[in-house]
Amino acid sequence: MSTETTQNKLKAGLVGFGMIVDETYRPFFESVHETGLYQRATGPIEVSLDAVATRTGSRAEKYLEERGEKVGGFESYAGDNAIEEMAAAGLNFACVASPDDRHFDSCKKLLEAGTHLIVEKPSVLKLQELDELVALAEKNNVTAKVVYHKLFDPDHKKLRTLVYDDVLQHVNNGYCSLLEPKAISGKQFAQWITGRNPGTYVAVHYIKLIDFTFGGKLKTLTASGQRGLVGDKDGPTWDSCQLRMVYEYESGREAAFDIHTSWVTPDNFPGYVEQEVQFRFDNGLWNGHSRKRGVECTVEDKTPFEIKNSMNNHFNGTFVEPWNERSQRGYGIEVIEQFAREVAQIEFGGPESERQQRLEQIRSLSYNDLSADRQTVATVQALEAILEKHAQGEPDCVVRVNDDKGGLVLYRPGSTEAEVLYEGTV
């Protein structure tokens, strides 16, 4: 067991400095800078944000100027070689929070530099990319993890606990929906929205929730979508989409799940980000609704824009604690802190000679390890392929998983021809 010394320090880097950084990574780094991390096996650990890599550097440098002392200052890297420069800074771990379709390159460079990695959801968009990252993490003796903060939502933890304990038995089917306001597609993501869809962006939370909570083998994927608001009605950019996943369990019985997402809901709708799930079991029913469990608040001239009508105080809220300290906390921040604890455990949780065992133990955590993200990435890859075919004038394709032609195989209606999206076993 290591002793309490000031050498126990983790140097961190961050790729991207946008909306999610503001909601979760920034508050995490500010709070950990102040308090450090403590676990009995590691003793106190200092965590510092040493490097930030972004496209232009503007938001990161503005923060550095205005509040940089909150994280102890960092080096800002921008432009084409930002990731390489950051990766060369000798970091222990890095968080990748750039747009969905730009995760892979950054992750690869960071893992190549021997940096522990955590990437925002969706981790990557193709199983081929996932394979490469998992192999690199293995080769360089580091972890590669993904953030699915909804697994830390107390309601979802309770659902999983009831399933895990066999209180809720065999899921038959279910639906989930997640509605984002127009401002997300129209303003927030305007710079990278072309060719994107809200399913990859947010359905992925529920894809993972279903995959992680219920287990089973993914069999079939279908999807549809609508266009015409964010982009052209015949173009590649989607307003909303509907995904269906079919799973088979050890008993040979199946379940189907529908996930509906949109990022064109009117900006003033009271739900703001509205999330709903319903799962039907042999012996029960689970209904979860972000507004029903939450609060509704109106403040003249402030809601729903500056303050949300139905705020999710469980995800990430700013508070005055009962002892009058200000804080920002919630499961969105906890999930990053937990990753930092896992890295600390690997590096400082015992003698160097046992590092490999600790690394393997942390890799075996299937809630966040990239090696356990296969069925989720397969679903995202299939969804993207089906929507792409739809945009090319061939709607209603079906993707089958692990059939005799390959791991992920796309079929067009009325055609016997198959397109193999991924050869290996999912």
Ligand X SMILES: NC(=O)c1ccc[n+]([C@@H]2O[C@H](COP(=O)([O-])OP(=O)(O)OC[C@H]3O[C@@H](n4cnc5c(N)ncnc54)[C@H](O)[C@@H]3O)[C@@H](O)[C@H]2O)c1
Binding of ligand X at residue 17 (CB under 6 A)? Answer: yes
CA distance 154 to 178: 18
Binding mask 168-197 for ligand X (x = CB under 6 A): --------------------xx--------
Q: Is the dihedral of CA 283, 289, 292, 293 positive or negative?
A: positive
CA distances from 351 to 36, 39, 345, 364 (A): 21, 15, 11, 20
Closest to 175 in 3D by CA, of 283, 251, 260: 260
CA distance 100 to 109: 16
Binding of ligand X at residue 120 (CB under 6 A)? Answer: yes
Do 401 and 410 form a contact (C-beta atoms < 8 A)?
no
Q: Binders of ligand X: how many residues, by CB under 6 A?
A: 26
Q: Which of 121, 126, 260, 390 binds ligand X (CB under 6 A)?
A: 121
CA distances from 395 to 57, 193, 203, 409 (A): 40, 21, 20, 16
Q: Choose between 59 and 291: whose C-beta lies nearer to ligand X.
A: 59
Q: Choose between 57 and 350: whose C-beta lies nearer to ligand X.
A: 57
From the CB of 172, what's the least distance to ligand X, in Å? Answer: 28
Cis before 122? omega within 30: yes
Q: Which stretch binds ligand X (CB under 6 A): 51-59, 137-145, 255-263, 323-331?
A: 51-59
Distance of CA 270 to the CA centre of its chain: 25
Q: Choose between 121 and 363: whose C-beta lies nearer to ligand X.
A: 121
CA distance 424 to 426: 6
Q: Which stretch binds ligand X (CB under 6 A): 19-27, 158-166, 170-178, 302-310?
A: 19-27
Q: Choose between 171 and 243: whose C-beta lies nearer to ligand X.
A: 243
Q: Choose between 62 and 139: whose C-beta lies nearer to ligand X.
A: 62
Q: Choose between 378 and 401: whose C-beta lies nearer to ligand X.
A: 378
Residues that bind ligand X (CB under 6 A): 15-21, 53-56, 59, 82, 97-100, 102, 106, 120-121, 147, 149, 188-189, 201
